[in-house]
Amino acid sequence: NAARLHSPAPLVLAYGSATSLLGSSASDIDLTVLLELPPELQRRLLSDIADAFGSVPGVTATAVLAARVPICTMTFPSDLSSPAGAPLVLTSDLVVDVSVGNVIALDNTRLIRTYMEVDECAWQLCLLVKAWARARRVCSARHCFPSSYAWSLLAICHLQHLGQLPNLQGLAPPWQLEQALVANTARTPDGRAVSYSFCGNAAAARKFWKAAPFPAPRLPLLLTNFFDTALQLLSDRSPAGLALAACVSAGGLQPLSSRPCFDPRAAQHFAIEDPLEPTRDLGGMVTASTLAILRTELCRARDLLREAVATRSLPEARRWIERLLAAAGGEAGSGEAIGTCGLRHRPFVTTGLSIERDGGNSHCRRRRYRR
């Protein structure tokens, strides 16, 4: 009813991995209704959406109103038919999360997508990092691990630290003249106003920024170095002044004590700053036990990759990807791991691994490795 009171009808826009180039055929779809409503009316609207879609046979809909960002989460079965009776083309159940007025998420998605468009290798690296984190089961805020969004930001920060990506929030003029400026003041879910600006055009960023030289094979070396970078963030009861934080908004790793979103009194840190909400710590959910698991998994991945990069042979590269993406608790084959992670691979060559995309997102297809 709150939506019907607005004329014209409010826009409903997608955000998250579905539009940031980091999605897959198995990704959820995140939508937000562009309405400025007080929190109580937001929750009422989400409850109404859950009731409406929950009445559709086969569809489950639940309003999750106590979350940091209240949502209505809906699951559409793969055999669902449209209102006209025609079957929908779904390869698996589709999960859709709907929020209200989540403008920061829309701008965050544009920021991430621009980084992915600046350099193909950034997109490849983020996909591999997300695939590894999901396969090794260290990608779930609900279970006290960083989210896939946090892992993507850490990969971007790693590339910035090595001079392989610009700081889109700190590019110097005259890139604004390219009509690339995204500037906004929006409210966080807890009602705070945040202001931000960034270059939202990859072509403009490439025009006014140049990557630092980096040796070949670029992607395997960047991925190996990523795990070294991630290990630098691990802090367990060490003085906050010695710990580091991943800060995309600052263009790389920063002393943890210099950033406002991290609690120096915390017993452990895996500090990843939200670029548009600099007071939000995306790694703040880690515990002593999950920090220990992170250290084990990061060391495992780093050691595997060091061996693969040293040999540079095609058979070893294939074994490397199988072992890196092996599911935790069992060495799953590459077909299963790659399929569930939504990666699409082209052949290995002597310079390393290459991943391709079609249109907006990566797609889940199994491809044979060949010489």
Strand extents, DSSP E, 286-349: none
pLDDT of residue 314: 54
pLDDT of residue 55: 93
pLDDT of residue 334: 35
Per-10-residue mean pLDDT of the chain, 371 residues long, equals 60 94 86 92 94 93 94 91 66 90 96 96 92 92 94 97 96 78 91 93 92 86 91 72 86 87 78 93 92 94 80 62 59 34 31 43 34 27
pLDDT of residue 202: 95
pLDDT of residue 21: 93
Residue 195 to residues 180, 186, 286, 353, Cα–Cα distance (Å): 17, 7, 28, 39
CA dihedral 222, 228, 232, 237 (to 10 degrees): 150
Q: Write down the pTM of the prediction.
A: 0.84
pLDDT of residue 176: 75
pLDDT of residue 329: 44
In whole angstroms, what is the distance from residue 134 CA to residue 145 CA? 11
